[in-house]
Amino acid sequence: MAQPVVTTRILRRLLKTGAHFRAEKLLERIHPADLGPLLADLTPDEIRIVIDLLFKHRRAATMLIELPHDLLPEILDSVSDERLAEVLDRLELDDMLELVEAIPEERRSSVLKQLPVARREELRHAELYQPRSAGRAMTTNFSALDEKMTAQEAIDSLRAAGLEATDAILYLYVVDELQRLTGVVPIRRLVTAQPGTPVRELAIREMLSTGPDADQEEVAQLVARYDLLAIPVTDVDGTMLGVITVDDVIDVITEEATQDIYNLAGLSEEDRVFTSARVSIRKRLPWMLVNLVTAFAAGAIVGLFEGTLEQMVGLAIFLPVVAGIGGNGGIQTLTVITRAIALGEIEFSSGVRAVGKEMAVGLVIGSAAGLVSGGVAWFLHGNLWMGVVLFASMVVTMVTASLVGAAVPLALKALKQDPALGSGVLVTFAVDALGFFSFLGIATLLLDRMT
């Protein structure tokens, strides 16, 4: 493997000294997946030269697909419509869709006009499927075998397609005269098959398939669960439409994990580490405003008890303790439940059981935290009732935090919303509000005994 840092330095020098032929030779030896990170370190002018060189080698298409998404706009700007269409034409359907989405909308139609009609049609058809559906993620580039073929005929048809094509094939799909999927032959089985064996006999009949409208995350879970290398996509009649391969499944799993982690923090997926500060700010501002509203609402609850605080300002010290422990408990429960939902480990019926368990955990942890912090408060203030107030509010807050942390994502899932999106802010607000209310409320009731 080439060392990326060294390669960047050499490439830069070659470009600077105008040694384009040697730069070309260097680029030739780099794997498409390594080009993205490499380009990320070049200036726009240098990138333009590299793209020109890659076009000579017809490698620009694979490179553009591997590029980090935040680099794409800048790079696409420097490529003409004709070239962009040329690149799109060379891509498989799922990659083509992804790149088309990266083209600014106002430019899209003029680029697509340059595409061959057949491919334009294919694209239009795929765009009918929902984003994040199997129909969008599948490739239409698969090998179908006639049921009546023999192993030797299947091998001959592969040989005709050439070695390069064979390299990408893992399964052959057996179809009947109506193009309906009837079986799958792992290409590995052809290796040891007798030439005269009908492919029908080599095929696996009991196989998984999915519809084009299935959620890509669910398809990824199927592939992961049954250790598949690819899964066929068929329509309601069983007609073969395409295939989703394991490398795309890995991308989906990584993408969805990022989305889950990001949603918990209220981040937009486009807000990555090297996204421009301008974009990150624009993405985070609305969320900050939502947070401001809930933070002020929590503050207003403190405000309700201004009279109590005036009489005993020392209570303010414990506000961060109640909010901190409750918030932590709520986020832990939320994390366990959203992760279980994402991994398909939980259904609605078992969800009720999960809520019960989390509340039991919250009760115990809340009691423990209440005992420790109540003890500290008793010691600090020399007043037992101070400790009682802290203990009671801690238990109430933790149990509620567990209830909210478990119920909110399950309810969102039942409403077919993303279970993680917005859960964090809701849970934090509920816990803060209830924590302050119970702590200051109980303190108000017991104020006479504490002073």
SS3 sequence of 87-138: HHHHCCHHHHHHHHHHCCHHHHHHHHCCCCHHHHHHHHHHCCCCCCEHHHHC
Tell the smallest beta-carbon distance from residue 114 to its own copies (Å).
28
The residue type found at 260 is D
When the beta carbons of 101 and 271 are compared against its own copies, the nearer one is 271
Q: Which is nearer to its own copies, 17 or 166 (CB)?
A: 166
Cβ atoms < 10 Å from Cβ of 57? 11
Q: How far is the CB of 347 from its own copies (least distance, A)?
A: 8
Cβ pair 230, 243 in contact under 8 A: yes
Q: CB 320 → its own copies: shortest distance, Å?
A: 4
As a whole number of angstroms, the distance between CA 191 and CA 213 comes to 35
Q: Give 316's contacts (C-beta < 8 A, 6+ positions apart).
A: 309
d(CA 198, CA 152): 9
Nearest approach in angstroms of CB 70 to its own copies is 10
Q: Give the residue with the Cβ less far from its own copies, 212 or 366.
A: 366
User: Residue 369, exposed/middle/buried by CB under 10 A (0-12, 13-18, 19+)?
Assistant: buried
Q: Select 136 or 339, whichever has its Cβ closest to its own copies.
A: 339
Cβ distance 218 to 253 under 8 Å?
A: no
Structure tokens belonging to residue 121: 């049609």
Q: Are 42 and 30 in contact (CB under 8 A)?
A: no
Minimum Å gap between C-beta 122 and its own copies is 22
Residue closer to its own copies (CB basis): 128 or 144 = 144
Quick one: 88 or 322, whose CB is closer to its own copies?
322
149 backbone dihedrals φ, ψ, rounded to 5°: -65, 155
Q: How far is the CB of 207 from its own copies (least distance, A)?
A: 10
Shortest separation between residue 211's beta carbon and its own copies, angstroms: 13
Q: Closer to its own copies at the Cβ: 233 or 336?
A: 336
